[in-house]
Structure 1
Amino acid sequence: MTKKKDWTKGDLLNVSSSYWRGCSLQAGVRLGIFTAIDDGYLSLSDIATKIEADERGAEHLLNALSAMGLLVKEDDYYKNSSASLEFLSSKSPKYIGYIILHHHHILDGWAQLHEAVKTGRPIEKRSYGEEFERECFLMGMFNLAMGIAPNVSSQINLSGRRRLLDLGGGPGTYSIHFCLANPNLTAVVFDRHTTEPFAAKTIDKFGLADRISFAGGDFNVDPISGGPFDVAWLSHILHSNRPEECQSIIDKTVDVIEPGGLIMIHDFILDNSKDSPEFPALFSLNMLINNWGKSYSEKEIISMLENAGISNISRHSFQGPNDSSILCGTV
Structure 2
Amino acid sequence: MTEAAPSPVPLFELSTGYWASKTLATAYELRLFARLSGTPGMTCREVAEHWEIDERPARMLLTGCASLGLLEKTGDRYRNSPLSEAYLVPGKPHHFGGLITMLDQRLYAAWGRLTEAVRANQPVTWDSDRVRSLFESQDPVVTDTFWESMHTLSSFTGEALSTAVDLGGARRLLDVGGGSGALAMALCRHWPGMKATVYDLPSVTGIATRHIEAAGMTGRVRTVDGDFFADASLPEGHDVHTFSNVLHDWREADAALLLKKSFDALAPGGLLVIAGYFVNEEQTGPPLAALMGLAQLIETEGRAYTASEYAGWAAEAGFVDPRTVSLQSVGANGVLTARKPAAEHRDA
Same fold (TM over 0.5): yes
Structure 1 distance, partners of 2:27, 2:282, is 38
Report the equivalent of 1:111. Answer: 112
Pairing partner for 2:218 from 204, 209, 220: 209
Contact 1:264 1:327 in 2 (8 A): yes
- Structure 1 stretch displaced more, 44-53 or 169-178: 44-53
Contact 1:240 1:291 in 2 (8 A): yes
Structure 1 distance, partners of 2:221, 2:173, is 9
Report the equivalent of 2:312. Answer: 303
Contact 1:229 1:257 in 2 (8 A): yes
Q: Deviations over 1:220-245 (max 9, x none)?
A: 32345542221101111011111111
Contact 2:157 2:332 in 1 (8 A): no
Structure 2 distance, partners of 1:305, 1:54, is 59
Structure 1 distance, partners of 2:38, 2:49, is 17
Gaps of 5+ in 2: 128-137, 341-348
Structure 2 distance, partners of 1:154, 1:92, is 23
SS of the counterpart of 1:218? coil
Contact 1:36 1:51 in 2 (8 A): no
Structure 2 distance, partners of 1:286, 1:37, is 33
Report the equivalent of 1:122. Answer: 123
Shift in CA distance, 179/63, structure 1 to aligned 2, threshold 3 Å: closer
Report the equivalent of 2:182. Answer: 173
Aligned pairs (5 A) from 1:142-157: 142-157=151-166
Report the equivalent of 1:3. Answer: none
How many pairs are equivalent?
Answer: 324
- Structure 1 stretch displaced more, 110-119 or 61-70: 61-70
Report the equivalent of 1:158. Answer: 167
Contact 2:198 2:205 in 1 (8 A): no
User: Counterpart of 2:27 in structure 1: which amino acid?
Assistant: G
SS of the counterpart of 1:161? coil
- Structure 1 stretch displaced more, 79-88 or 226-235: 79-88
Contact 1:109 1:125 in 2 (8 A): no
**RMSD (Å), alpha carbons:** 2.6
Shift in CA distance, 103/206, structure 1 to aligned 2, threshold 3 Å: same
Report the equivalent of 1:64. Answer: 64
Contact 2:195 2:221 in 1 (8 A): yes
Report the equivalent of 2:345. Answer: none
Report the equivalent of 1:98. Answer: 98
Report the equivalent of 1:234. Answer: 243
SS of the counterpart of 1:292? coil
- Structure 1 stretch displaced more, 227-236 or 176-185: 176-185
- Structure 1 stretch displaced more, 110-119 or 84-93: 84-93
Structure 1 distance, partners of 2:295, 2:62, is 29
SS of the counterpart of 1:78? strand
Q: Deviations over 1:131-151 (max 9, x none)?
A: 244333222222233234233
Structure 1 distance, partners of 2:333, 2:26, is 28
Report the equivalent of 2:78. Answer: 78
Structure 2 distance, partners of 1:200, 1:103, is 24
SS of the counterpart of 2:170? coil
What's the CA shift for 1:52?
6.0
What's the CA shift for 1:322?
6.3
Report the equivalent of 1:26. Answer: 25
Shift in CA distance, 50/221, structure 1 to aligned 2, threshold 3 Å: farther
Shift in CA distance, 283/270, structure 1 to aligned 2, threshold 3 Å: same
- Structure 1 stretch displaced more, 182-191 or 288-297: 182-191
User: Counterpart of 1:121 in structure 2: which amino acid?
Assistant: Q
- Structure 1 stretch displaced more, 173-182 or 25-34: 173-182
Contact 1:316 1:325 in 2 (8 A): yes
- Structure 1 stretch displaced more, 320-329 or 234-243: 320-329
Pairing partner for 1:282 from 279, 287, 291: 291
What's the CA shift for 1:114?
1.8
User: Counterpart of 1:256 in structure 2: which amino acid?
Assistant: A
Contact 1:283 1:295 in 2 (8 A): yes
Contact 1:32 1:51 in 2 (8 A): no
SS of the counterpart of 1:229? coil
What's the CA shift for 1:258?
1.8
Shift in CA distance, 24/7, structure 1 to aligned 2, threshold 3 Å: farther
